[in-house]
Structure formats: structure tokens, C-alpha cells
Amino acid sequence: MSTTNICNHIAIIMDGNGRWAKKRGMPRTFGHKKGAENVVKITRSMKESGVKYLTLYAFSTENWQRSKDEVDALMQLLNEYLDKELKEIMENNVRIVFIGERYMLSDDIQKKMHFLEAESAKNSDLTLCIALSYGSRQEILSAVKNIARKVQNNQISIEDISQDTFSDELYTKDIPDPDILIRTSGEQRISNYLLWQIAYTELFFTDTLWPDFGKDELLDIIKKFTSRERRYGKN
């Protein structure tokens, strides 16, 4: 079996913004601001890596339970990001897509998401997938309900349900499964992220806090990945 893997898709849990700010005696929201700046930097560095898909966990369904001030600050940052990024995205031939429970976001944010997706739909160097108000269990439940409805309406039979038809009901239906999942900040959890999609993904955990996670570390992880042996359950 070949020991050189090609990385097509990286997913990242961008953790540690709050601790990054606390270490500097700053409010948590300052950490999120630096985190948002790092989103732009890491997206740029994808060019050098040859990776075609980048999926970022920007806001989980559980994050709605944070304090109102913190949720408002994160929504404000996202809103600014959506306003500012069109130029950068178009110049760099990036297609942007969003996954998650959109209906929970404000109308304003939903409109901007839709606009960016439509404008960048034909771009092809990188697909930047942003998980916003995203929860993997919710995504899986919604897929199960869609499939149950199709069976109930005699559109498909139970025997037609396969891994492929199931994947087609997920938000990520047009996106290949991640090859690499990175979580920053030293936590070793998946936190309701892409549970179906990471069945055979290689996991990397780093102590670096998200605002400090840079291109060198990213390229180093990709290098380590190329020599990992992926057996997919075979021997």
C-alpha cells in the first residue's frame, strides 16, 4: 500500500480564542477578533498547500448558550467578515459555502451568506466551507428525517438507503470527507463536528491557540499526514 497520502480537504476546530485573550489580560471578544483575522491568513496559506477544501468551525449550535454579549460579538465579527471578504474571495478564486442551521441566524447574516455563495459559486481554486450554527447530530437527524419522509412518500425504498444516499442528505453533500481534522488549543474532543464525515479522517491535536496557529504549523501537519498509513480498516 502506498504511504504517500494526498490531502484534499482539511477541517479545523478553531479553539482557544478566549484563552489567548485571557493570557494577555484582554476580553474574550478580543481573542475572537484575532481568531477572525487568522481565518483570513490561514485561508490565504491554503494556496501553497494544494488543498482544495477547507472547512472551519466558526460557531456551533451549542455556542448559542454562551453569554449574550459573547454571542453578539461573534455575530458582529461574522457580519463584518461577510461584508469584507467578497473582494478577497473573488481575487483568490475561492468558492464559499456555509453549513449549519441557517434559520437560527439573523435575516441580515443569512442574506449575506446567500449572496457570497451565489457570487463565488463558479470559483474553483479552493472551497471554503464555514460551519455556522452547525451541529453534527442535528445534521444527521435532519438527514434521517428527510430519508424517512422519502420512504413514507414511496419516493425510495428502505433498501435504497446506502452510505451514499445518506451522505447526499447532509449539508456537506457536495464536499468530500476531510482527510485531516485539526483541533487547536490542546483539547482532544470532536465537539459535535462532522461526526459522519470524519469516519476515516486523520486527527491532529495541537496545543497552539487558534490566533497563533500559522502557515508553518499547517504545512507541517500536512507533511506528517502524507506519511501516515491510512488503512481504512484493512490490514
Residue 19 as a binder of ligand FPP (CB under 6 A): the answer is yes
Residue 135 as a binder of ligand FPP (CB under 6 A): the answer is no
Residue 10 as a binder of ligand FPP (CB under 6 A): the answer is no
Residue 182 as a binder of ligand FPP (CB under 6 A): the answer is no
Which residues are CB-contacts of 194 (< 8 A; sequence separation ≥ 6)? Answer: 11, 55, 131, 136, 172, 178, 181, 201
Kindly tell me which of 67 and 152 has the beta carbon lying closer to ligand FPP: 67
Among 10, 36, 180, 198, binds ligand FPP (CB under 6 A): 36
Contact 128, 90 (CB under 8 A): no
Q: Residues binding ligand FPP: what is the number (CB under 6 A)? A: 20
Where b means 16+ CB within 10 Å and e means fewer, 88-123 reads ebeebebbbbbbbbeeebeeebeebbeebeeebeeb
Torsion of CA 29, 31, 36, 37, to 10 degrees: 130
How many residues are recorded in the chain? 235
Stretch that binds ligand FPP, among 35-43, 47-55, 194-202, 227-235 (CB under 6 A): 35-43
Edge-to-edge order in the sheet of strand 94-99: 94-99, 126-134, 53-60, 9-13, 180-183, 202-205
Scanning residues 190 to 219, which ones bind ligand FPP (CB under 6 A)? Answer: 210
Sign, CA dihedral 83-57-220-187, equals positive
Rounded CA gap, 173 and 171, in Å?
Answer: 6
Catalytic, 168? Answer no
Mark out the alpha helices in the chain (DSSP H runs).
17-23, 28-49, 68-91, 107-120, 136-152, 163-167, 215-226
Residue 15 as a binder of ligand FPP (CB under 6 A): the answer is yes
Stretch that binds ligand FPP, among 1-9, 51-59, 106-114, 194-202 (CB under 6 A): 51-59
Catalytic, 8? Answer no
Kindly tell me which of 30 and 147 has the beta carbon lying closer to ligand FPP: 30
The residue type at 97: V
Residue 81 as a binder of ligand FPP (CB under 6 A): the answer is yes
Residue 58 as a binder of ligand FPP (CB under 6 A): the answer is yes
Residue 178 as a binder of ligand FPP (CB under 6 A): the answer is no
Residue 183 as a binder of ligand FPP (CB under 6 A): the answer is no
Q: Catalytic: which of 8, 63, 79, 123?
A: 63
Catalytically annotated residues = 15, 63
Residues near ligand FPP (CB under 6 A) are 14-19, 32, 35-36, 39, 56, 58-59, 63, 77-78, 81, 130, 185, 210
